[in-house]
């Protein structure tokens, strides 16, 4: 009998696009502890690489991610497992570069948490989504509920968590949980097409828009201080864009470096 391939999380960089792949096909890409560590490490690597502008998160095989490996929940303290998962979820949500979840098949439990932590969610027509702590007696993390409520509102959040029922891609689109629904065979190409378009745009504009949008989602508005910080930060992209516009040419912006793509910390603007 053939042995089961090891469960891994891999990173592949092609041009300006990094793809992180969750690979535990035999268990619908459920995540164990070592996979969580691998995901955190790859996110850090992709965020630091100057040649990477956009990150796509996807699952190997027919599914996105079935959440945490339930066997580990039975073997280890639940609070510790939740803490480790939320740490990785927050790393993903706080990534300074645009993130896209490319979702096919099952996107369940912790898999849905990871998808919701991405900036954009693109799904195949056959995908399904479920948030299932009520089936296990688990308490859904506060940060995950906050993020979900900001995206789909309190009523839809309660509907998903109270029932733990799966919803279709079309219902997810209706809720605002996903941004695009495409044919199954088009999913990878569609995610890459959107990522490639983002990679051609001004990295300073994108970094600023991402941070200010996230702040507005949390606090209801963008603070004047954060806006001023971005307005006064070095912005070589502006000269490139204006020159290209004047020449009626396509702008070619520089690599996505940490400067000027600086994300201001809360302590910077306190």
Q: In this predicted model, what pLDDT tens digit does every residue of 58-71 receive, in sequence order?
A: 999 999 999 988 77
**Other C-beta atoms lying within 10 Å of the C-beta of residue 204:** 24
Mean pLDDT of 156-163: 98
Give the pLDDT confidence of 124-135 residue by residue, as tens digits: 999 999 999 999
pLDDT at residue 56 above 90?
Answer: yes
Pairwise CA distance, residues 186 & 122, whole Å: 11
CA angle 257, 228, 241 (to 5 degrees): 50
* pLDDT (0 to 100) of residue 267: 43
- Indicate if the pLDDT at residue 263 is higher than 90: no
pTM of the predicted structure, to 2 decimals: 0.92
Using DSSP, state whether 42 is helix, strand or coil.
Answer: helix
Q: Decide the pairing of beta strands 99-103 and 167-168.
A: unpaired
Residue 269 above 80 pLDDT? no
Does residue 256 surpass a pLDDT of 60?
no
Residue 82 has a pLDDT of 82
Q: Which two tokens stand for residue 256?
A: 């996505």
Q: pLDDT tens digits for 176-207?
A: 999 999 999 999 999 999 999 999 999 999 99
Average pLDDT, the chain: 91
Identify which of 119, 38, 51, 19 has the alpha carbon closest to the alpha carbon of residue 258: 51
Q: Say how far apart CA 234 and CA 244 lie, in whole Å.
A: 19
- Does the pLDDT at position 260 exceed 60? no
């Amino acid at each position: 009998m053939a042995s089961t391939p090891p469960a891994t999380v891999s990173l592949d960089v092609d041009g300006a696009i990094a793809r992180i792949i969750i690979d535990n096909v035999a268990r619908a890409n459920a995540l164990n502890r070592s996979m969580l560590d691998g995901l955190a490490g790859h996110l850090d690597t992709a965020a630091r690489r100057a040649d990477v502008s956009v990150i796509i998160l996807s699952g190997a095989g027919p599914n996105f991610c079935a959440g945490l490996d339930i066997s580990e929940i039975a073997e280890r303290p639940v609070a510790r497992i939740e803490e480790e998962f939320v740490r990785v979820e927050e790393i993903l949500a706080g990534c300074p570069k645009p993130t896209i979840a490319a979702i096919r098949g099952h996107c369940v439990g912790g898999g849905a948490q990871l998808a919701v932590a991405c900036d954009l969610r693109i799904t195949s027509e056959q995908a399904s989504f479920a948030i299932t702590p009520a089936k296990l007696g688990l308490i859904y993390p506060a940060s995950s509920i906050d993020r979900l409520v900001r995206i789909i509102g309190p009523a839809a959040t309660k509907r998903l968590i109270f029932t733990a029922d799966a919803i279709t891609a079309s219902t997810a689109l209706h809720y605002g949980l996903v941004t695009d629904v495409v044919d199954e065979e088009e999913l990878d190409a569609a995610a890459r097409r959107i990522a490639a378009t983002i990679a051609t745009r001004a990295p300073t504009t994108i970094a600023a828009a991402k941070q200010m949008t996230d702040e507005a989602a949390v606090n209801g508005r963008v603070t004047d201080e954060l806006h001023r910080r971005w307005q006064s930060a070095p912005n070589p992209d502006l000269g490139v864009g204006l020159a290209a516009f004047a020449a009626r040419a396509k702008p070619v912006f520089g690599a996505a470096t940490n400067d000027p793509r600086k994300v201001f910390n809360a302590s910077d603007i306190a």
